[in-house]
Amino acid sequence: MLPSGVSAEFKAGSLTIKGPKGELNLTLRPEIDLKIADNEIRVVCRDNNRFVRSLFGTSRALIANMVVGVTDGFSKTLKLVGTGYRVEKQGEKLVLSLGFSHPVEYIAVPGVSLEVPDKETIVVSGSDKAKVGQAAASIRDFHKPEPYKGKGIRYENEQVRKKAGKAGKAGAAGA
């Protein structure tokens, strides 16, 4: 069911969905057909084998994500954990201080917006779920959380499992 303010158009194997947050396009495989009627998009398989049925589910999920994206949008929040780890926004790019000898810069891809509410938080948002997730993963790749002290860039609710470290440091070995 399409919410009010959202329109869908299917021509020559390409679906275009327009809404208040933008416009998204999806090119579907020739085995999949769409029927748009009564504010509803129906995915129809042209064949009934295992491969086409798997395309059906994927296509349905991608279309549902497009509808949510043009109405509400998607966002991911990243936290910088570590002494001296901070981020600041300079124009359209992020400048991250991650304990390296140089600052790390990241320029956002089109369709993705970056916000810095405080010095340890990055909010990645946009209407395309795949672009938002890829941008957040690219930023996280600069310094993934390490397992000993937990320092690095992590998703907002991510739990990092910590390792014990050296036995001598924990006091287990006596000399």
Query: 41-72: per-residue pLDDT in tens?
Result: 999 998 889 999 999 999 999 999 999 999 99
Which of 3.30.465.10, 3.30.470.20, 3.30.70.360, 3.90.930.12 is the CATH number of 7-71?
3.90.930.12
Q: 7-71 and 74-155: same fold?
A: yes
Q: How far is CA 25 from the centre of its chain?
A: 17
Q: What is the pLDDT of residue 1?
A: 79
Q: The domain 74-155: what is its CATH number?
A: 3.90.930.12
Express each pLDDT in 3-41 by its tens digit: 999 999 999 999 999 999 999 999 999 999 999 998 899
Q: What is the pLDDT of residue 167?
A: 72
- Give the residue extent of every domain in the chain: 7-71, 74-155
Farthest CA pair distance, the chain: 79
CA distance 69 to 67: 5
> Count of alpha carbons within 13 Å of 23, Cβ hemisphere only?
8
Q: What is the pLDDT of residue 110?
A: 93
Is 96 exposed, middle or buried, given 0-12, 13-18 or 19+ CB atoms closer than 10 A?
buried
Express each pLDDT in 106-145 by its tens digit: 999 999 999 999 999 999 999 999 999 999 999 999 999 9
- Please choose, from the candidates 79, 76, 96, the residue with its C-alpha nearest in 3D space to the C-alpha of residue 154: 79
CA distance 18 to 15: 10
Summarize the confidence of residues 152-163 as an average pLDDT: 93
Q: Poorest-confidence range of 7-16, 53-62, 148-157, 166-175?
A: 166-175
Q: What is the pLDDT of residue 165?
A: 82
CA distance 71 to 23: 10
- Please choose, from the candidates 27, 148, 6, the residue with its C-alpha nearest in 3D space to the C-alpha of residue 71: 6
CA distance 68 to 132: 13
Q: How confident is the model at residue 164 (pLDDT cuts 50, 70, 90)?
A: confident
